[in-house]
Chain A
């Protein structure tokens, strides 16, 4: 059962072929068998998950009408707070902290009867592209345990690829949902900024952070998307408009007559040949389904990475100031409040977090603000305009999700720039606040590892990505004679 899609599991639950408790136990068993190798989870809430599952079962037995995904288990990225459950954000700073409140995403998951198995590993405070920056050790890619699962949400995607959970929640500031999805052969969606509430999402970069669904199929992602999306009065930046009909779009999957724009700047140099080949094959499939492929140019994308690495660190330097040992988290040092703050931040934060805090502090400093933060905001506007012009020529835009397949653990950890370049194709959507999806495009010829196909849609037209994604996925599954994860190596109890 654990190899099925979430939709199939929901059907089995509805038909009474299995109970939520049984389904949850099956996943807990898989976690106990394989997570020693993968290290996707930072915390497994066995009792909480079983309690939630039995509540759903009781409701179902009482004949209550339940939401679509009721009783299906899920893995939650450790950056979203869940009342009473340890939330570390992959940082030593928050070791032992149990939040006194639920994030809006968690509240909605609970309302939908989705069973939360536990919290997944991530780069510290979501800063990274490999999950190597977790204070609790890296997560391994289920396709090759010597390789990274992407980041920052490597734990969520790895849990899907190793069948420890059929659904997961990620957060995406510069690609942290999509790039892990690409390198693990799973599906990940960053909804339009403001589409899913950020209330209870521990902020890295407030104007870029967006929570979204991770799954093994486009339709599963769509159901999870609808479960967590919608206006939230507790998040001022949340959009007060109806949630795009993403489930309907994923079921429809008809791209006939749609215009699909290939972004010229997001291919070529720096992209692995096998990744590009798979990308082009996907384009051919979409063309064969009746979509029109056009090429578009977004010339300011060349500055996206630079702008991102000014805006995100600037906001993070302020957002992470609250970790000062005064109210929660670890405390170190003696003497005055300042001395304690200093000592705690010294040992509580890892190197990458410190690097970005220092970068951001510098970029916001008086005398440098205009040159750095100010210019970056201008670039951001120009990138939004690039997207606006491109969307006049095409309904959705596409690119490879990441330039390469999964690299080796340790390969780039001493070269921040090489690491940052991994997000070159995903960052522009965050800067413009629009939606992006990654789904598997196949296994690269060079290394037999999964690559991702990225679809981007205008703000609040997230349904278009699902339509295109579902169409492509269906054709690819036929070609591969089943989901791509069937080709993944089998992990088992040792």
Chain B
């Protein structure tokens, strides 16, 4: 019964709006000195300020402002010479002051853009995503709803509050309405978030881990009949926790909207939650009755007025754009377009680069990250970067292969063991007893046993039938359980039989 995506795009034109929240990687919170390390015991990273105790006052984290300016500059935005924080007032238990200190009508960065390229069947296509604003705000605490339906506030017996996250600096990057993507809308959105993530990572302002929530994307989607000017009613999908989900969530919403519109039903303006398992969204809070946040300028903070010198200084230290960097890498490594795209899609470009920087050959580095490691990551449904194997590990393994101390087959065992968390490369080789058997005397003993077991074959080789040696080499390899270096065995055997 469900519509096919192809049926949606022949009739409707999508419009997107993407709101990306990024947790900045500052050492301390937005308005106090509390630590920001992820995963600490509940409520241990709090103080009077981020708990909103009576009398406590905020002080802006200067580093957070510098990071935000850097983001704005990287996204080609204008940096406001004067901007202010505002209070967004609403009651919620995980918000200690019952207002969020945010930016409202005076954001620090405005009017930028980000160019992206997607790979399609019709060749690569370029899109310019216009950025409306980049602004700062503080994160809220976390509510844990106990009892009742898993994790939902409805029917819960009680809730636990953890304020460690309260006051973590957040940057919100909001696009203007993105039109003209047509059927590529889901891929465009994904490429935008991916490119944005690479930029943020390159700037070093956030660890941009979608799975841990340090980068979150809310996707606004609406449809209108092709040829129509008037935008349709939008839905806002939250809980989109991976790049793949960005694409899936938008595709799913486009189909859902089209089904409603086709049957003359209204699309409700609401927040929806994306579910990884089903690939579908469910209704959240309705936004038909817009909440009145009673924004007003935060009187506890003074306006932000970055000097021209500061902005120039930040601009001068911006790293090169990911697109430029990718081009340089591609040239340096002599990689075809398809391979390059594969690395970007598998999100291993940084890892390959780091591995090469540690002395590995680009081709070998690429084939490990894109081959064996990507395969395991895929099996485990995690990002390659989150596996317990580092660029340094891979570089070390490659170096051992080059030196002949590991065969490809043994190297795969080492890589698997690394990912299983069995320790360092050296430790794994030692405890698993992995080593290329290259000790001549023990190899010779094995060769002699092979010859003794098949004297007729040895005779053929002595007589000049070199290919016949394969059977003897095979026997030696089998005895050594693959640990012998096949090339070495061949050399020794042929010499021994007078053919070396």
Known A236-B301, A236-B302, A315-B299: A322·B96 in contact at CB below 8 Å: yes
- Judged by a CB distance under 8 angstroms, whether A338 is at the interface is yes
A424-449 CB mask vs B (1 if < 8 Å, else 0) is 00000000000000000000000000
Select which of A202, A235, A361 is within 8 A of B54 by beta carbon: A202
CB distance from B25 to the nearest CB of A (A): 23
Q: In whole angstroms, what is the CA distance A446 to B59 when docked?
A: 51
- Judged by a CB distance under 8 angstroms, whether A37 is at the interface is no
Q: In whole angstroms, what is the CA distance A327 to B92 when docked?
A: 12
Q: In whole angstroms, what is the CA distance A38 to B185 when docked?
A: 74
Interface residues on B, range: 20 to 34
Pick out which of these stretches binds chain B: A99-107, A243-251, A284-292. A99-107
Main secondary structure of the interface of A (DSSP, over half): loop
Pick out which of these stretches binds chain A: B45-53, B371-379, B433-441. B45-53
Q: In whole angstroms, what is the CA distance A469 to B159 when docked?
A: 57
Q: In whole angstroms, what is the CA distance A337 to B161 when docked?
A: 12
Known A206-B300, A366-B292: A322·B97 in contact at CB below 8 Å: yes
- Judged by a CB distance under 8 angstroms, whether A328 is at the interface is yes
CB distance from B87 to the nearest CB of A (A): 5
Q: In whole angstroms, what is the CA distance A60 to B57 when docked?
A: 35
Question: In the assembled complex, which residues on chain B have CB atoms less than 8 Å from the CB atom of A326?
Answer: 93, 161
- Judged by a CB distance under 8 angstroms, whether B481 is at the interface is no
Interface residues on A, range: 35 or more
- CB pair B96–A237 under 8 Å, yes or no, is no
Query: Considering only CB atoms, which chain A residue lies closest to B89 in the complex?
Result: A318
- Judged by a CB distance under 8 angstroms, whether B99 is at the interface is yes
Q: In whole angstroms, what is the CA distance A99 to B87 when docked?
A: 24
Q: In whole angstroms, what is the CA distance A314 to B58 when docked?
A: 19
- Judged by a CB distance under 8 angstroms, whether A124 is at the interface is no
CB distance from B33 to the nearest CB of A (A): 10
Q: In whole angstroms, what is the CA distance A413 to B300 when docked?
A: 31
- Judged by a CB distance under 8 angstroms, whether B82 is at the interface is no
Within 8 A of B (CB), among A340-383: 341, 361, 364-366, 369, 373
CB distance from B388 to the nearest CB of A (A): 39
Question: In the assembled complex, which residues on chain A have CB atoms less than 8 Å from the CB atom of B161?
Answer: 326
Query: Considering only CB atoms, which chain B residue lies closest to A97 in the complex?
Result: B54
Q: In whole angstroms, what is the CA distance A89 to B53 when docked?
A: 13
- CB pair A364–B296 under 8 Å, yes or no, is yes
- CB pair B55–A321 under 8 Å, yes or no, is no
Pick out which of these stretches binds chain B: A10-18, A61-69, A193-201, A386-394. A193-201
- CB pair A314–B55 under 8 Å, yes or no, is no
Q: In whole angstroms, what is the CA distance A199 to B31 when docked?
A: 13
- CB pair B296–A89 under 8 Å, yes or no, is no
Query: Considering only CB atoms, which chain A residue lies closest to B33 in the complex?
Result: A234
Select which of B54, B57, B91, B93 is within 8 A of A234 by beta carbon: B57
Query: Considering only CB atoms, which chain B residue lies closest to A326 in the complex?
Result: B93
Q: In whole angstroms, what is the CA distance A476 to B238 when docked?
A: 71
Query: Considering only CB atoms, which chain B residue lies closest to A87 in the complex?
Result: B54
- CB pair B57–A198 under 8 Å, yes or no, is yes
Query: Considering only CB atoms, which chain A residue lies closest to B47 in the complex?
Result: A101
- CB pair B48–A322 under 8 Å, yes or no, is no
- Judged by a CB distance under 8 angstroms, whether B56 is at the interface is yes
- CB pair B59–A321 under 8 Å, yes or no, is no
Select which of B55, B93, B99, B301 is within 8 A of A202 by beta carbon: B55
Residues on B facing A (Cβ under 8 Å): 48, 51-60, 87, 89, 91, 93, 96-99, 159, 161, 292, 294-296, 299-302
A-B contact list, 27 entries, CB within 8 Å = A80-B55, A81-B54, A87-B54, A97-B54, A100-B48, A100-B53, A101-B53, A101-B56, A199-B56, A203-B55, A205-B299, A206-B299, A206-B300, A234-B57, A235-B59, A236-B301, A236-B302, A314-B296, A317-B294, A318-B89, A318-B294, A322-B97, A322-B98, A323-B54, A324-B91, A364-B89, A366-B294
Q: Which 6 A-B pairs have the closest CB atoms?
A: A321-B98, A364-B294, A206-B299, A207-B299, A200-B55, A202-B54
